[in-house]
A and B are shown apart, each in its own frame.
Chain A
Amino acid sequence: MPATKRGSLSIRSQDDVVGVRQAVRRAAVDIGLNLIDQTKIVTAASELARNAFVYGRGGEVLIEDLQESGRRGLRLSFEDHGPGIPDIQKAMTDGYTSGTGLGLGLGGAKRLSDEFQIFSEEGAGTRVVITRWKS
């Protein structure tokens, strides 16, 4: 699948989370996502960027444009080198949090995306890749 790198941002502070949201919104507008899909991917990005900052002790996001048989999409890869998630299934469960949030971020991000992949290794970090296609 042809993917073009649009940019990558580091996530080291709360302000960077805001920056990620803005960059993702720009990219979403650029590839022509409608307002609802824009909002979905921006919100998912917000959750994952905050996770990388809060739980992963900072990380980065790679933003890529996708093109597959005429349709366009946006792929976001979040990566941190934090403690990793010991039990991914548990972490994906709505209402479960190891912190103080609502425990809906990961599951919510999955439901807000067309494709969702999560890889995590204890002590090495976590990588979450989401894709939103232009409908």
Chain B
Amino acid sequence: MKQENFTPSSRSRLPEILIREQSSLLADWIESLSASAGGRTGSRSRQQLHEDARTFVTALARGVQDGSLQDLKSSEWSRMHEFLTELSRSRAEEGTSPTETATFLFSFKRPLFGLLKKELAGEPEALAEELWHATALIDGLGLQTTEIFQRSREEIIRRQQQELMDLSTPVVKLWKDILALPLIGTLDSSRTQVVMQNLLEAIVAHSATIAIIDITGVPTVDTLVAQHLLKTVAAARLMGADCIISGIRPQIAQTIIHLGVDLADVTTKATLADAFQLALRRTGGPLPASTASSKQLA
């Protein structure tokens, strides 16, 4: 940090001023908050706003008393950190933007600067120095709320990714010896690995002889997706199970032909129903006589 450039000899007077004047600072801040919030109808009630201001000033006084202005992440600032976390969380839940939350903290500069101006009247150099300290301090704390907000969002995204990965790869037992794997969404490599693993494990667990991989829910089948499918089919075959790929829509069929992907060794069907019927016939299961399709290609 650059504060050292300003204070080669003496310590900052900011902590002392903050601790001594905390109640008057709070009163000034609440007054200016009330004035500025007068026209707006924010989601946070006035009472909550005042409560936040009070907790912040208390935590700030505690922080500057125990900790240093340079290291806002040290354990002496834990109380402030707790408050900021709670503030970010509760405000995010109310739909407040991180900018508004940070702006709320930045608004503390007004009473603080006013106080410093009064305290250090006639000492322009000291005033400039302490204003710098105060700005760095409040900016640092305001930015922390944004960081906390972002971290919580990233956590949500990570969790959802994980959930999606598990969600969209269920292996379903359709009949004795017959499994189905309905694939949904994009098949990027990390998910495909999960898919393959789930299917192979399920083949063992159910001692299945036929696995139907349904790609109705896969919007794009390019060469990478095709390669993953072919690998899965080959691995299943090594374990003694045949795969049928179903859900090949007309547009997908055309695309596969243009790409030049060779699916000749793989049994494919237009719909899951067709694939199921074929699987039943192969395993000797009961066949629904009336709906038996006439276009049996396999």
For residue A104, CB closer than 8 A to chain B, the reply is yes
Stretch with Cβ within 8 A of B (4 or more), from A41-49, A58-66, A78-86, A120-128: A41-49
Number of interface residues of B (CB under 8 A): 20
For residue B227, CB closer than 8 A to chain A, the reply is yes
Indicate if the CB atoms of A102 and B255 lie closer than 8 Å. no
Instruction: From B220, B221, B223, give the contact of A104 (CB < 8 A).
Output: B223
For residue B261, CB closer than 8 A to chain A, the reply is yes
For residue B251, CB closer than 8 A to chain A, the reply is yes
- Tell me the minimal C-beta distance from B253 to chain A in angstroms: 10
Beta-carbon contacts under 8 Å, B241-259 to A: 250-252, 254-255, 258-259
Instruction: From B221, B226, B251, B258, give the contact of A38 (CB < 8 A).
Output: B251
Indicate if the CB atoms of B255 and A107 lie closer than 8 Å. no
For residue B260, CB closer than 8 A to chain A, the reply is yes
Q: In the docked arrangement, what's the CA distance between A38 and B252, Å?
A: 11
For residue B119, CB closer than 8 A to chain A, the reply is no
Q: In the docked arrangement, what's the CA distance between A18 and B252, Å?
A: 17
Known contacts A43-B220, A47-B222, A14 near B259 by CB under 8 Å = no
Indicate if the CB atoms of B226 and A112 lie closer than 8 Å. no
Task: Give the nearest-CB partner of B225 in chain A.
Answer: A46
Indicate if the CB atoms of A94 and B188 lie closer than 8 Å. no
Indicate if the CB atoms of A36 and B254 lie closer than 8 Å. yes
Indicate if the CB atoms of B258 and A102 lie closer than 8 Å. no
* Secondary structure dominating the interface of A: helix
Residues of chain A lying within 8 A (CB to CB) of residue B260: 94, 104, 107-108, 111
For residue A75, CB closer than 8 A to chain B, the reply is no
Indicate if the CB atoms of A43 and B222 lie closer than 8 Å. yes
Known contacts A35-B251, A38-B251, A102-B223, A111 near B258 by CB under 8 Å = yes
For residue B68, CB closer than 8 A to chain A, the reply is no
Q: How many contacts between A and B, using CB within 8 angstroms?
A: 66
- Tell me the minimal C-beta distance from B227 to chain A in angstroms: 5
Residues of chain A lying within 8 A (CB to CB) of residue B74: none
Task: Give the nearest-CB partner of B252 in chain A.
Answer: A39
For residue B186, CB closer than 8 A to chain A, the reply is yes
- Tell me the minimal C-beta distance from B178 to chain A in angstroms: 29
Q: In the docked arrangement, what's the CA distance between A97 and B257, Å?
A: 19
Known contacts A21-B220, A47-B223, A101-B224, A40 near B258 by CB under 8 Å = yes
For residue B189, CB closer than 8 A to chain A, the reply is yes
Known contacts A102-B261, A108-B259, A111-B259, A39 near B254 by CB under 8 Å = yes
Beta-carbon contacts under 8 Å, B147-196 to A: 186, 188-189
Indicate if the CB atoms of B258 and A101 lie closer than 8 Å. no
Residues of chain A lying within 8 A (CB to CB) of residue B258: 40, 108, 111-112
Residues of chain A lying within 8 A (CB to CB) of residue B222: 43, 46-47, 50, 105, 108
Q: In the docked arrangement, what's the CA distance between A102 and B259, Å?
A: 10
Indicate if the CB atoms of B251 and A36 lie closer than 8 Å. yes
Q: Quick one: CB contact mask for A105-116 with B, threshold 8 Å, 1 for yes?
A: 101100110000
Indicate if the CB atoms of A46 and B220 lie closer than 8 Å. yes
Residues of chain B lying within 8 A (CB to CB) of residue A21: 186, 219-220
Instruction: From A36, A39, A101, give the contact of B220 (CB < 8 A).
Output: A39
- Tell me the minimal C-beta distance from A23 to chain B in angstroms: 13
Known A25-B219, A38-B251, A50-B222; further 9 A-B contacts with Cβ < 8 A:
A18-B188, A21-B219, A36-B254, A101-B223, A101-B224, A102-B223, A105-B223, A107-B260, A111-B259
Give the 5 A-B CB pairs with smallest separation, nearest first: A108-B259, A39-B251, A46-B222, A111-B258, A36-B251
9 contacts between A and B (CB under 8 A): A18-B186, A21-B219, A39-B252, A101-B224, A101-B227, A102-B226, A102-B261, A108-B261, A111-B259
